Structure 1
Amino acid sequence: MTSSRAVPVTLAEIARLAGVGRAAVSNWRRRHESFPQRIGGTDVSPQFSLTEIEAWLRDNNKLRNAAGRDWLWPQFEALGSRDETGLAIAAAGRLMSGTRAEGGVPDDLPGLSARARELVAKAWDLGQREGAAETFEFLLGRWLDANVRQISTTPEPLAALMADLALRVRARPESEDGRVLAVLDPACGTGHLLAAAGAIGSPVVLAGCDSDPVLAALADARLALLPQPAGTDVTAHAEVGDSLRADPLAAIRADLVLCNPPFNERDWGYEELATDARWAHGMPPRTEPELAWVQHCLARLRPGGTAVVLLPPAVATRRAGRRIRGSLLRMGLLRAVVALPAGSAPPHSVSLQLWVLRMPAADETSPGSGELLLIDGASRFPRASTRESMPDWDALGAFVRSAITEGGATGGSGTAVGGKTGSAQRVLPECVAAVPVIDLLDDEVDLTPGRHIIPGASGEGPRLADSWSEFGQLVADLGGTGGRLATLDLSDDETGAQPTTTVGELARAGALMLRSGQQPADGTICEGQPDDSGVSLLTIPDLLLDGEPRTWLSTTDAEAAGAVIVEPGDVVVAGVARAFSAWVHQGRPMALGPQLHALRAHPDQLDAWFLAGSLRAPANARQAGTHASSSSRVDVRKLQVRQIPLAEQQQFSEAFKQVAAFEKLVARLSLLGAGLVRDLSDELAAGRLSGKA
């Protein structure tokens, strides 16, 4: 009998533990009668006892290092509670940091069950053999992956960029006198930003705070395990507390403040903080919690200190916050706004912004520079597809650093950062502008970089040339494909003379397999592009926009939910009138959402391209639809297909392929043509193209 404390593992996890592919594990299960029986899950996504799997792998000489990290994580995950698992990992990290290494693992750890304490001891022992920092980072990474829907983190490349910008813009006195830099993160989460600051190569004191006790404990353990670069000294700690309501780090005056605050939180303390001294630029409206965080960061800076804050783009334009934005500009505190490409950090669907703020140094006579540096990284590095969730960080980082330097926003010895001296001679990179503050202080005080940057001539010529080249190639391809389709003859046969069948009848006859997509469970959907352990999730809203999936599921969640995964060669049908279509799927496997259907044709009876082309006919959808409204459902089982031999199907298949290619060419030509119209209009209006046509 299986123990009630059995640790469940899926087929995918067994494959990872054994160092083989998932198909190999499925083969073992099918071929070996001794393979353990499932203890949970479903027939589609079974779960097995970790102990029984370990014994079976050992008995069959298929066991990889059973004391490694991959074997440890399922035991942590089996604790069940997000908080207890996180606290156990944090406790293991603190122990592995060396603070209690000589005394070993204590018998009692506050807030942890006996099982959790056993796992802490295992993690501590593993850390002694395989590296403390590596073991902790592995467990933390798996915990974050398991809770990715509830916890937003700052990607490491973005955290490194924010720390570097803060250091560059800070006003540096003639002599630092060996003073240790103080770095603060008032909403530290698990400590990504502070960890990046710990790698800047200077002696630093890192201080973080978070209202979630689990995140604060994890951040504290992470900071305790930071490497000490040669010749530097890193001191770090994280506290539990609400920085806005009751800041436990209120006494700190920092040189650098890095912050990725929570977005759109209405319950941030609006009523109880109405008279707070931090609101030097105005009481933040209830709907503007991000501006409360901005003013909090400024209040914690010492003279000459810099804050870099990651914010949603609406903060730069919402009418409710214009008075505070105007005050920040007039006082010269806001030095730069950087628009990041969509996908730089959660939420991946929007172009987030970095606000770079600096308190005037003690010897600065001017309260500000008179200009705001606007850097439009979103336009400089546009996302070619919604599948792309991460930018080219090397190129983006080099662009932003260059813009900060050439735009005059780097700190110096008692100088006014970004001053006007020599501004007329400055040649700024493309998509960068130094805008006079007076030009921004209008009724809206809109600080969105893209609204104030006029595309320059640099790079427009080659881009237009490339667009025209592609346009010409598309026209040629369109002509070739259209010419081939134009040769198709209209048959004289009666349309009703050929017998038809339905998808439902084909499914019953075994000619195809029909599966319908479903809505994933709450909390399992991730935004952006999937990593190696996930699959894209296609939904009807995606089809209505541009056909590109915007979300994904982890393989574990997809298996647990029995998600419908389409493979290359499967036919996908959208069963909603306003988005009705059918096509042969190509590319990576993909999960289907509700009202999407997967048809896998038997290759000896049906040609996939013939099937897809037949199903997508508008007349077919009209016959199978409910006709109630544009959102009415199309009954896929009632869609009709002509009954013709396979050889004849394959002849029609080639024509259907040509129609699909023709459709893609028309869509791409329309999109490119619209872009050319916009670019030509901009260049002609700016006088950068000759008016002679």
Structure 2
Amino acid sequence: MILPCGSGGMFVQSEKFVEDHRGQLGDISIFGQESNGTTWKLCKMNLAIRGIEVDLGKEPADTFTNNQHATKKMDYIMANPPFNVKDYWNESLAGDVRWKYGTPPENNANYAWLQHMVHQLKPTGVAGIVLANGSLSSNTSNEGEIRKAMVDGDIVDCIIALPDKLFLTTGIPACIWILNRNKSNPDHRERENETLFIDARDLGEMIDRKTREFKEEDIEKIAKTYHSWRNKDGEYKDEKGYSKAAKLEEIQKQDYILTPGRYVGIKDEEDDGIPFEEKMQTLTKNLSEQFKKSAELEAEIRKNLASIGFGVK
């Protein structure tokens, strides 16, 4: 399930993922919703030409005020909703059953999206949602209290910090929330009251001046880290500067701010094998030469200024 689904790009990528892992498309059912009429039609066409069956609802409709899949509960949800939507609120949303962890602010939909996704999950369901980084730390208009309730409710499975320039529509850095309603699943490692933080801001490479792209090995690294932490037979270990499995008590000490950098720390510098004394001798020698050049440049400037009648004392 992908809400809102846009033009269906995630559906297409999901199809490729299933096929690449030897799955059958007939084994899954896909649901989505889109409020923009033109985009809704484009999505239907995009999926039809690829032979992907999907339920997009009877018509274009707003996810919050006209949820066309309200009675359905999903095994998995993937979503890349618009960031920081300010004009989503409607009076009919007051007291909505979806606001289990608190009423979201009327001028920002981030925590409305998160709670909507949780509400649509089965008791064993998992959701992955891309949001702006502000959602990890904002304390305005009840957002901090909602985030606290979600963490205390043990619904936050993993937070992944992404680098900037990763999306064509915005250059700002974003993050992925992985929400899990079944963290105590016996088939998985015991991870109750624990959240995995991954700082992937150093991954990827710039393919032009404005766009960064993840390589396949970058995606595999993130996925392997998460699954090794989650799976019972995984061999997960914290990696300084990259990943950290934090207990609830650690998150409480950080005032429930979920920015991965607060937890993973700073990566250790690699030892280049050069002794400290040798490095300092090289640095001081270079600095001495730079001081000398600076003095020579200053004398030259003073001389030139004096030659045109503007001597500097």
TM-score normalised by L of structure 1: 0.37
Give me the whole-angstrom Cα distance separating, in 1, the residues matched to 2:48 and 2:83: 28
Q: Distance in 2 between matches of 1:313 and 1:460?
A: 29
Which residue in 2 is equivalent to 1:268?
Answer: 88
Distance 1:382 1:401, change over 3 A: closer
Q: How far apart in 2 are the matches of 1:464 and 1:316?
A: 40
What does the per-residue CA deviation read over 1:103-154, in whole Å, with 9 as the maximum and x for residues that have no partner? xxxxxxxxxxxxxxxxxxxxxxxxxxxxxxxxxxxxxxxxxxxxxxxxxxxx
1:348 deviates by 4.1
Structure 2 CA distance, aligned partners of 1:400 and 1:363? Answer: 21
Q: In the aligned structure 2, how far is the partner of 1:452 from the partner of 1:361?
A: 20
Aligned residue identity for 1:427: K
Is 1:427 matched up with 2:240? Answer: no
**Are 1:461 and 2:271 counterparts?**
yes
**Aligned mates of 2:15, 2:204 — CA distance in 1:** 31
Partner of 1:207: 31
Q: Write the letter of the residue equivalent to 1:321.
A: E
Equivalent residue in structure 2 for 1:312, among 132, 142, 151:
132
Alignment CA distance shift 1:296-1:402 (3 Å): same
- Kindly indicate whether residue 192 of structure 2 is the aligned counterpart of residue 375 of structure 1: no
Instruction: State the partner residue of 1:253.
Output: 73
| 1:448 matched residue in structure 2 | 259
Matched, 1:495 2:304: no
Residue deviations 1:601-625 (CA, integer Å, cap 9, x gap): xxxxxxxxxxxxxxxxxxxxxxxxx
* Structure 2 counterpart of 1:439, from 247, 250, 253: 250
How far apart are 1:399 and its partner, in Å? Answer: 2.5
Alpha-carbon contact 2:81-2:113 (below 8 Å) kept: yes
> What does 1:275-674 correspond to in 2, within 5 Å?
275-319=95-139, 320-346=142-168, 348-360=170-182, 369-378=192-201, 380-381=202-203, 387=209, 389-406=211-228, 408-410=229-231, 426-430=236-240, 431-442=242-253, 444-457=255-268, 459-462=269-272, 475=286, 479=290, 482=293, 486=297, 488=300, 490-491=303-304, 494-495=307-308
Contact residue 341 and residue 391 of structure 1 kept, 8 A? no
- Please report how far the alpha carbon of residue 273 of structure 1 lies from its aligned counterpart in structure 2 after TM superposition: 0.8
Select 1:217's aligned residue among 9, 16, 41.
41
Cα distance in 2 for partners of 1:386, 1:474 equals 38
Cα distance, 1:334 vs structure 2: 1.0
Cα pair distance change 1:472/1:350, threshold 3 Å: farther
Structure 1 residues 442, 493: closer, same or farther in 2, change over 3 A?
A: closer
Q: Residue 341 of structure 1 contacts residue 383 of structure 1 at CA under 8 Å; is this kept in 2?
A: no
Q: How does 1:60-99 map to 2 (within 5 A)?
A: none
Secondary structure of 2:6's aligned partner: coil
Q: CA deviation at 1:383?
A: 8.0
Residue 355 of structure 1 deviates from its aligned partner by: 0.3
User: Which residue of 2 is the match for residue 189 of structure 1?
Assistant: 6
Q: Distance in 1 between matches of 2:218 and 2:183?
A: 29
Counterpart AA for 1:206: I
C-alpha spacing 1:394/1:464, structure 2 compared with 1 (3 Å) = farther
Q: How many residues align?
A: 290
Do 1:258 and 1:308's aligned partners in 2 also have CA atoms closer than 8 Å? yes
- CA-CA distance at 1:189 after TM superposition: 1.0
Give the distance between the partners of 2:165 and 2:193, measured in 1 at CA.
32
Q: Retained in 2: the 8 A contact 1:328–1:334?
A: yes
Q: State the secondary structure of the residue aligned to 2:192.
A: coil
**Which letter maps to 2:197?**
L
What CA distance in whole angstroms lies between the structure 1 residues aligned with 2:260 and 2:78? 21
**Aligned-pair CA distance for 1:288:** 3.8
- Percent identity between the two aligned chains: 19
**Matched position secondary structure for 2:47:** helix
CA separation of 1:474 and 1:225: change in aligned 2, threshold 3 A: farther
Give the secondary structure class of the aligned counterpart of 2:211: coil
**In 2, Cα distance between the equivalents of 1:313 and 1:258?**
17
1:311 and 1:393 mapped to 2: Cα distance? 21
Q: 1:477 & 1:253 partners in 2: Cα distance?
A: 69
CA deviations over 1:493-541 (Å, ceiling 9, x no partner):
8527xxxxxxxxxxxxxxxxxxxxxxxxxxxxxxxxxxxxxxxxxxxxx
**Larger fraction in helix:** 1
Contact 2:89 2:107 in 1 (8 A): no
> CA offsets per residue over residues 234-268 of structure 1, 9 Å max, x none?
42243411111111122332221111112222222
TM-aligned CA distance change 1:354 to 1:388, over 3 Å: same
Q: How far apart are the structure 1 equivalents of 2:194 and 2:177?
A: 14
Q: Secondary structure at the match of 1:194?
A: helix
Aligned mates of 1:441, 1:191 — CA distance in 2: 38
**Is the 8 Å Cα contact of residues 342 and 383 (structure 1) preserved in structure 2?**
no
Q: 1:314 to 1:346 in 2, by over 3 A?
A: farther
Structure number with bigger Rg:
1
Q: Which has the higher contact order (CA 8 A, sep 6+)?
A: 2
3-state DSSP class of the match of 1:350? Answer: coil
Supply the RMSD in Å over aligned alpha carbons: 3.8
Please say if residues 225 and 236 of structure 2, whose CA atoms lie closer than 8 Å, have aligned partners that are also in contact.
no
1:31-80 superposed Cα distances (whole Å, 9 cap, x missing partner): xxxxxxxxxxxxxxxxxxxxxxxxxxxxxxxxxxxxxxxxxxxxxxxxxx
Shift of 1:409: 2.4
Q: What TM-score comes out, normalization by structure 2 length? A: 0.78
Unaligned runs of 5+ in 2: none
CA–CA distance in 2 between the matches of 1:346 and 1:392?
13
Name the SS for the 1:353 alignment partner: strand
Runs of at least 5 residues in structure 1 that lack an aligned partner in the other structure: 1-183, 228-233, 413-420, 497-693
SS at match of 2:197: strand
SS of residue in 1 equivalent to 2:195: strand
Q: Residue 343 of structure 1 aligns to a residue in which SS?
A: coil
- 1:442, CA displacement in angstroms? 4.9
CA distance in 2, matches of 1:481, 1:206: 70
